[in-house]
Structure 1
Amino acid sequence: MEFIPLELPEVVLMTPRRFRDDRGWFEETWSRRRMEDAGLALDFVQDNQSLSEPKGTLRGLHFQAPPFAQAKLVRCVAGAILDVAVDIRSGSPTYGRWVSAELTAENGAQLLVPRGFAHGFVTLMPNTAVCYKVDNFYDKASEGGIRFDDPDLAIDWGIDNSAAVLSEKDRILPSFAELDPVF
């Protein structure tokens, strides 16, 4: 497995090694040993999966506040997404900055989004399935979010923002400026 820190070095792009033969391929998508060898000791407790039927479905930006904060290991198992992480740790030198990576079923890449970051993705193809591991259980009272089209963050989602397919919950999220310090 290859581990590549992105511009926000706490966010890591991980690419498993694929072993191909005439039947197709095999890859190890997660290994506690390999993660620990890379200095990434996480105790994942839950796997989640979503299916987004329309292209342009945007989920996020979401986070869980302490003590239910979550790190996520995100991968796309069908289709393609642009995956985004935003640093929301007040006092961090990269506070309010974001990074993105294209995750596809074809490239097998995964994004490790640490605690203290808001997370979201947009589907680049119809019928896109995303799986992610989390290192803490969901707590409804601790969920939070930021508008995907916040002008202060100016995230380039690679789509026309007016065409984004959103849930009602995501449509009414507050702006980044309205976010109280969480981390």
Structure 2
Amino acid sequence: MQIRELSIPDSYEITPKQHPDDRGLFTEWYRFDRLEEAVGHPLELRQGNLSVSKRGSVRGIHFADIPPSQAKYVTVPHGAVVDYVVDIRIGSPTFGLWDSVLLDDVDRRAVYVAEGLGHCFVALTEGATVSYLVSDTYNPGREHGINPLDADIALVFPPEAGDPILSPKDTDAPGLIEARGSGFLPTWDAARAFYASLDEK
């Protein structure tokens, strides 16, 4: 298993080693100990989610209040998506920037998204299936979104995704600047303090 930090601090690409044979293949797609070595603290799992999406479907940009927010470990057992990590932490050296990873059922990569970061993906195939483990249960009162078509963030969707399909919740979400002005974006200092508290456990 190879773990590489993305250009957005506190997010990682995980590439598992696959073991094919004449029956198919085997891979370890999640290892708590290897992830802890990279991140600095264990990922305490509280919930597992799965979504199935039409080609072109965009889900995100989503995040939750910190603390405790929601760290995510995302993989794709079927199909393909482009997964985006967006830095929405006010004061971060990469605030407003993003990085992306192709997640599919060929390389079987995963992405780790720390608490306080924005997360989004676009489905490249019909029936793209995304599985994600999260560090806390869903709490609608603490969940927020940023419009994934916001020009200030300027996510780039591959042409093979086709026209983006968004939910009303995501199209009605504010842009980054409006969200910042509303005061509900996490801060870099609060995120770092929360990560430090997890390191001490």
Sort the TM-score into its range (normalised by shorter chain). Answer: over 0.9
What does 1:26-65 align with in structure 2 at a 5 Å threshold?
A: 26-38=26-38, 39-52=40-53, 54-65=54-65
Return the offset for 1:11.
Answer: 1.2
Equivalent positions of 1:30-179 (< 5 A) are 30-38=30-38, 39-52=40-53, 54-159=54-159, 163-179=163-179
Given residue 50 of structure 2, which amino acid in structure 1 is its aligned partner?
A: Q
Return the TM-score normalized by structure 1.
Answer: 0.93
Task: Report the equivalent of 1:12.
Answer: 12
Q: Secondary structure of the residue that 1:163 maps to in structure 2?
A: coil
Contact 2:123–2:161, Cα closer than 8 Å, also in 1: no
The range that moved more, 120-129 or 2-11, is 2-11
Q: CA deviation at 1:14?
A: 0.2
**SS of alignment partner, residue 177 of structure 2:** coil
How far apart, in 2, do the equivalents of 1:164 and 1:40 lie?
Answer: 36
Q: CA deviation at 1:136?
A: 1.1
Q: Which stretch of the first structure deviates more once superposed, 33-42 or 1-10?
A: 33-42
Which structure features the higher share of strand residues?
A: 1
Matching of residue 3 in structure 1 with residue 6 in structure 2? no
* Contact 1:68–1:138 under 8 Å retained in 2: no
SS at match of 2:176: coil
CA deviations over 1:136-171 (Å, ceiling 9, x no partner):
111100010101111111111224999211111111
The code of the aligned residue for 1:111 comes to: V
CA apart distance, 1:67 = 3.0
Q: Is the 8 A contact 1:64 1:70 kept in 2?
A: yes
Query: What's the secondary structure of 1:29's corresponding residue?
Result: coil
Amino acid at match of 1:173: A
Deviation at 1:182, TM superposition (A): 2.5
Give the conservation status (yes or no) of the 8 Å contact 1:49–1:132.
Answer: yes
TM-score for both structures, normalised by structure 2: 0.85
Whether contact under 8 Å (2:124, 2:160) holds in the other structure is: no
Where do 5+ consecutive residues of structure 2 fail to align?
Answer: 187-201
Which residue in the other structure is 2:195 paired with? none
Give structure 1 stretches of 5+ with no counterpart. none
CA contact (8 A) 2:8 2:85 kept: no
**Contact 1:63–1:119 at 8 Å: present in 2 too?**
yes
Deviations 1:65-114 (A, max 9, x none): 12340110100111100000111111111111111111001110001111
